[in-house]
Chains A and B, each alone.
Chain A
């Protein structure tokens, strides 16, 4: 069986990179004493995948891990034991037992929701005011970073929802294995629209990861 579990990456540890988050979860699993499955081979490792790597600097409210268990464990026990074993900034909120054939999280992932807290109130106001104008355009050019270069792309089709309130901008953006609109790309375009020249300081929180239901609706990945 596999356990799909929702966990938090708290604000204090938001600068921890994905590899370190992975290792911390693995050590947490080892502390918990839960019967996790290991790979075969010379350096056995815990069979675990993560739905999506969260950028260094970003917090996550509902990040998702997928752990293969060596024995059956109830969802409650998994949650209780893991929460004892994980640091306060990485607590779990949900666990769901699925069978071995359950599709992989990464393949199902379609979009992510973000809460972007703009540190400067004046900037936030300008940015929010610029949303309708930007969204009214036919295409929204942005620079996408690849391994080797910067490439221009159109993020318009990748923005599912964009709204603002106070100092927060809420965005639902495409996130798949192939294609993604990162919050930074969005903010670069929106900043340009709002006529902000300088740096925009923001606190990125990814609030959820989504796939598509049979009806084609965005649905939390862990529920699919």
Chain B
């Protein structure tokens, strides 16, 4: 039986076959033989997660737009499909033309969260690509990766040939050209990797040697060839209006997590919350113009038929002409029955006016992220939001006819005390109070307050990159405490699995030696770690033990100022000195102002013309 026949046979038995069948509206199936450069875009999680990801849509459109390159999608199959594929001896096939992964010239993984790392190994293995870079031969694809987790690429250094650091739009095409050149000129793998290393924003880990101190900390990271620079600067797209954005999104047949138009209104955030890695990685803040956005919204609406548009960014409330944008979109979309939703609303920037307009079409639940329960704790993390702000916005929302509110918090932040935990319950109680303050005739029925408390994971390139994570024992005790204090009528309490957060903390700030742990854990059967039903904490701990590494070294250890961090050779634009200053301020619960109110000298001012708010005066 040919591949297609075997695949069809597996599809008859598998659950949720539509995940694997493809053929969706607005997908592109280019002539395989007519395209010299074939890019396999790999999302290392299930179809439903991957198809919700904006980066996939951007790069998919961008690569397929070039006449000389094609892009096809790959997702992580679920366990039942994996068994069927093994039974039928089926390789991992692309969604579009059903070519095996190893027939592509370059395969690219997007790194959105650490818990997807084992899926990367699994997908390569299933696709017939040698899992470790050192075992790849001249006929094997070049394996690249990008996305937020590429900023600390070290735990994946054994498996990925080249990392793209920063915005992908420009570097993607440059990278593909270099790989096409390899193919046309018959360059060796090593020559190709060296050429890739010459591109700005590309990090080729095999061209660097890492040495360690006896205590396990990094002693040095040195390039081992002239093509590799001492540091790798992230790529920044400066003008979003002239940066590629798709006018069509693939429209899945089945429901995926974000099944709507995502309109990226801006990139970056000026708030400077100290726990937030995205807030640093996506600096500086850049906006798309109102004209460009309304044009894109109309095009995307008519090409997808979606019923909903969500404005996407780290902090949509900060978009400089948000009320105008919403009004414009509402006017244009009303007859088309499209609703506009605002995710990631920041509580100090919700405009009452916008709220009223949003619910003209459809009412959804409102999300607020105070992140911490007390003012002191919010000052430590520089979440410039007060209780008064929050309660005002909540009242506005209740008066405006909303009755469902979600509150997001973190537990385990540096310096957190029991008082801060009690503050979470206190705030939830006050939110309920605001609801009942609205006269019964004016408020909507069915109050629902959802309190989600996640476990804080210290991330590289944040002021907390030196911090220790709470131990599992502490986290569990805190969660028990929260369960008690949040036992309030009308409140639903959600918390995160602490074991996953512990492992996430290890890999977020891990070094190259973790590659061995990852490989061992995967060999033991760890895959789909982001899913409760497949996560195997016991196997991960076994893998650490067998590799002679202690997870506590990565998660629980407070780093010293002088320590060379495994990601220090990656330049995010923000300096280590700035981050350290922020760390010191956080210890004194001192806040730092929003960049829009004046440059804080984060380091981006060194790159001329990149940040609109930089004045070069910052130290």
Same complex for A and B? Answer yes
* B304 CB within 8 Å of chain A: yes
- Beta-carbon contact of A15 and B337 below 8 Å: no
Q: Closest Cβ of chain A: how far from B103's Cβ, in Å?
A: 20
User: Count of A residues near B, CB < 8 Å?
Assistant: 29
Closest to A88 in B: B23
- Closest B residue, CB atoms, query A13: B23
Q: Does B184 contact A (CB under 8 A)?
A: no
**Given A29-B305, A86-B25, does the pair A24, B336 have CB atoms closer than 8 Å?**
no
Residues of A contacting B302 with CB < 8 Å? 31, 33
**Cβ < 8 Å to B, chain A residues 1-42:** 10, 12-13, 15-17, 20-21, 23-24, 26-31, 33, 38, 42
B362 pairs with A16, CB closer than 8 A: no
In chain B, positions 465-508 with a C-beta closer than 8 Å to chain A are none
Taking CB atoms, residues of chain A closer than 8 Å to B23 are: 10, 12-13, 87-89
Contact status of A27 and B337, CB under 8 A, knowing A13-B18, A15-B11, A15-B18: no
Residues of B within 8 A of A201 (CB): 9, 12
Do residues A57 and B12 form an inter-chain contact, with CB atoms below 8 A? yes
Interface string of B14-41 (1 = CB under 8 A from A): 0001100111110000000000000000
Distance from A126 Cβ to chain B, minimum over Cβ atoms (Å) = 21
Minimal beta-carbon separation of B281 from chain A (angstroms):
34
Q: Does B173 contact A (CB under 8 A)?
A: no
Q: Which of these, A16, A24, A33, A38, contacts B337 with CB under 8 Å?
A: A38
Please, which residues of chain A bring their CB within 8 A of the CB of B305?
26-31, 85
Q: How far is the CA of A168 from the CA of B78 in the complex (A)?
A: 33
Question: Does A44 touch B at the CB level, under 8 Å?
Answer: yes
- B303 contacts partner chain A, Cβ-Cβ < 8 Å: yes
Interchain CB contact under 8 A, B336 and A30: yes
What is the distance, in angstroms, from A47's C-beta to the closest C-beta of chain B? 12
**B25 x A27 contact (CB < 8 A):** yes
Q: Which of B300-358 contact A (CB under 8 A)?
A: 302-307, 336-337
Contact A20 B303 (CB under 8 A): no
Complex alpha-carbon distance, A38 and B338, angstroms? 13
Residue of B11, B253, B336 most packed against chain A (CB within 10 A): B253
Query: Contacts A15-B11, A38-B337, A57-B12 known; A24 to B253 CB distance under 8 Å?
Result: yes
* A57 contact set on B, CB distance < 8 A: 12, 17
* CA A86 to CA B304, docked complex, whole Å: 10
Within 8 A of A (CB), among B249-275: 251, 253-255
Minimum distance in angstroms from A17 CB to a CB of chain B = 8
Cα-based distance from A31 to B247 in the complex (angstroms): 13
Residues of B within 8 Å of A20, CB to CB, are 18, 253-255
A43 contact set on B, CB distance < 8 A: 362
Contact A27 B18 (CB under 8 A): no
Check if A12 sits within 8 Å of B21, measured CB to CB. Answer: yes
Most central of A12, A15, A86, A89 by chain B CB within 10 Å: A15
Whether A24 touches B25, Cβ cut-off 8 Å, given contacts A30-B336, A31-B302, is yes
- List residues of chain B with CB within 8 A of the CB of A12: 21-23
What residues on A are CB-neighbors of B336 within 8 Å? 30
Beyond A20-B253, A38-B337, A57-B12, whether A27 also contacts B306 by CB under 8 A is yes
Q: Min CB distance, A26 to chain B, in Å? A: 7
Smallest beta-carbon distance B96→chain A, Å: 11
Identify the closest chain A residue to B9 (Cβ).
A201
Interchain CA distance A116-B564 in the complex, whole Å: 67
Q: How far is the CA of A42 from the CA of B363 in the complex (A)?
A: 9
List A contacts of B22 (CB < 8 A).
12
Give Cα A201 to B10, complex, Å.
12
8 A Cβ contacts from A181-206 to B: 201
Q: How far is the CB of B98 from chain A (nearest CB, A)?
A: 10
List chain B residues, Cβ under 8 A from A30: 305-307, 336-337
Does B21 lie within 8 Å of A13, measured CB to CB?
Answer: yes
Q: Which of A16, A29, A56, A87 interacts with B25 by CB under 8 Å?
A: A87
**A44 — nearest CB in chain B belongs to which residue?**
B337
Q: How far does the alpha carbon of A16 sit from the alpha carbon of B346 in the complex, in Å?
A: 38
CB nearest to B306 among chain A residues? A27
Query: How far does the alpha carbon of A35 sit from the alpha carbon of B336 in the complex, in Å?
Result: 10
The complex places the Cα of A23 from the Cα of B362 at a distance, in Å, of 19
Q: Which residue of B lies closest to A11 (CB)?
A: B8
Cα distance A38–B305 in the bound complex, in angstroms: 14
Q: Which residues of B contact A10 (CB under 8 A)?
A: 23
In the complex the two chains form, is B21's CB within 8 Å of A87's CB?
no
Complex contacts, A21 vs chain B, CB 8 Å: 253
Bound: A43/B363 CA distance, A: 10
CB of B253 within 8 A of CB of A13, answer yes
Q: How far is the CB of A191 from chain B (nearest CB, A)?
A: 17
What is the minimal beta-carbon distance from A183 to any residue of chain B, in angstroms?
14
Nearest-neighbour CB distance to chain A for B337, whole angstroms, equals: 6
Q: Could you tell me the distance in whole angstroms from the C-beta of B317 to the nearest C-beta in chain A?
A: 26
Tell me whether A31 and B11 are in contact (CB under 8 A): no
CB-nearest residue of chain A relative to B14? A15
What residue in chain A is nearest B5 (Cβ atoms)? A119
Write out the residue numbers on chain A whose beta carbons fall within 8 Å of the beta carbon of B18. Answer: 13, 15-17, 20
Collect the chain A residues with CB atoms within 8 Å of residue B9's CB: 201
Which residues of A in the span 71-115 have a Cβ within 8 Å of any Cβ on B?
85-89
Q: Do B304 and A27 touch across chains, with their CB atoms under 8 A apart?
A: yes
Q: Report the nearest A residue to B337, measured CB to CB.
A: A44
CB distance from B275 to the nearest CB of A (A): 37
CB of B238 to closest CB in A, whole Å:
34
Chain B residues positioned under 8 Å from A86 (CB to CB): 25
- A21 to B255: give the CA distance in the assembly, Å: 11
The chain B residue sitting closest to A27, CB to CB, is B305
CA distance A30 to B335 in the complex (A): 11
Chain A positions within 8 Å of B21 at CB level: 12-13, 15-16
CB under 8 Å from chain A, chain B span 148-182: none
On chain B, the residues within 8 Å of A31 by CB distance are 25, 302-305
A87 touches B24 (CB 8 A): yes
Q: Complex: how many Å from CA A24 to CA B303? A: 13
Which residue on chain A has the smallest CB distance to residue B11? Answer: A15
B362 to A, closest residue via Cβ: A43
Question: How many angstroms from the CA of A21 to the CA of B22 in the assembled complex?
Answer: 14
Question: 6 A-B residue contacts at CB 8 Å?
Answer: A12-B22, A13-B21, A16-B254, A20-B18, A30-B336, A57-B17
List A residues at the B interface (Cβ < 8 Å): 10, 12-13, 15-17, 20-21, 23-24, 26-31, 33, 38, 42-44, 56-57, 85-89, 201
User: What 7 A-B pairs come out closest when comparing CB atoms?
Assistant: A27-B305, A15-B17, A30-B305, A31-B305, A87-B25, A12-B23, A16-B253
Q: With A27-B251, A28-B305, A30-B337 given, name 13 new contacts (CB 8 A).
A: A13-B18, A13-B21, A15-B17, A17-B254, A20-B254, A21-B253, A23-B253, A43-B362, A44-B337, A57-B12, A87-B23, A87-B24, A88-B23
